[in-house]
Amino acid sequence: MKTTTTTMNAHQLELLDEWRTELSIRCKNGINFIFAATLIWAGIAVIWNSEISINHQSILTFSISGLMLPLAWVFGKLMKTAWNVEGNPLNKVGLIFNLAQFFYFPFLFILLGNRPEYFALGYAIITGAHFFPYAWYYKTNWFGVFAGLIPFGSYILSIYFPEMIALIPTFVSGCLGILGLGLVRDYRLKIGQKSKGVIL
């Protein structure tokens, strides 16, 4: 009886890994969203380099994020990434992971109303930290690494360069660009391994 249970669990884990690998390959690790975010954070860096008030910089930072889905759609078309993988039981889990970050938005509203000079930092922390579950979802450590690097790197920049807020979105944009390239490499490695019949 114990042997059967162990075998079933091993089979279930194998299926789970297959579903994750399929999502990683078909969705190309979500690189369309990452490169879209890279452009958006570059735009945020421009905003924080401008001479408008900090309140307006914060509002524009929040507003420019509305371009995420249109840009991700464009990049998805160019890079031929799948938005949905029909028949994959984990298909909608990624959306749930993404929606989770909206529960942190009240924190951003508090910063906007009381400490707008920390708005870019708060947004950077939320952006980076919400990547962590995707390390499991797409079976790649790249998301896990940058889920830590972006928040803590942004925090360190805020300590040592408090008067240079624009460094934070510039740093985030650079990190996202590197993350995107890393995810492309991960995708290509998985394609190569799959073509050779290697179990991922």
At 199 the pLDDT is 53
What tokens does 29 get? 């690790």
Asked whether the CA dihedral 83, 139, 34, 102 is positive or negative, the reply is positive
Per-residue pLDDT at 200 = 53
Give start and end residues of each alpha helix (H) in 104-166: 105-114, 119-129, 132-137, 141-160
- Residue 136 amino acid letter: W
- 200 in Cβ contact with 193 (< 8 Å): yes
SS3 165: coil
Per-residue pLDDT of the chain (200 residues; tens, 9 = 90+): 344 445 558 777 888 889 999 999 999 999 999 999 999 999 999 999 999 999 999 999 989 999 999 999 999 999 999 988 888 889 888 788 888 878 888 999 999 889 999 999 999 999 999 999 999 999 999 999 999 999 999 999 999 999 999 999 999 999 999 999 999 999 999 998 776 665 55
pLDDT value of residue 87: 85
Verdict on whether the full-model pTM lies above 0.75:
yes
Contacts 24+ apart (CB under 8 A), 66-69: 67/36, 67/40, 67/43, 68/33, 68/36, 68/37, 68/40
Q: Which of 136, 119, 135 is nearest to 55 (CA)?
A: 119
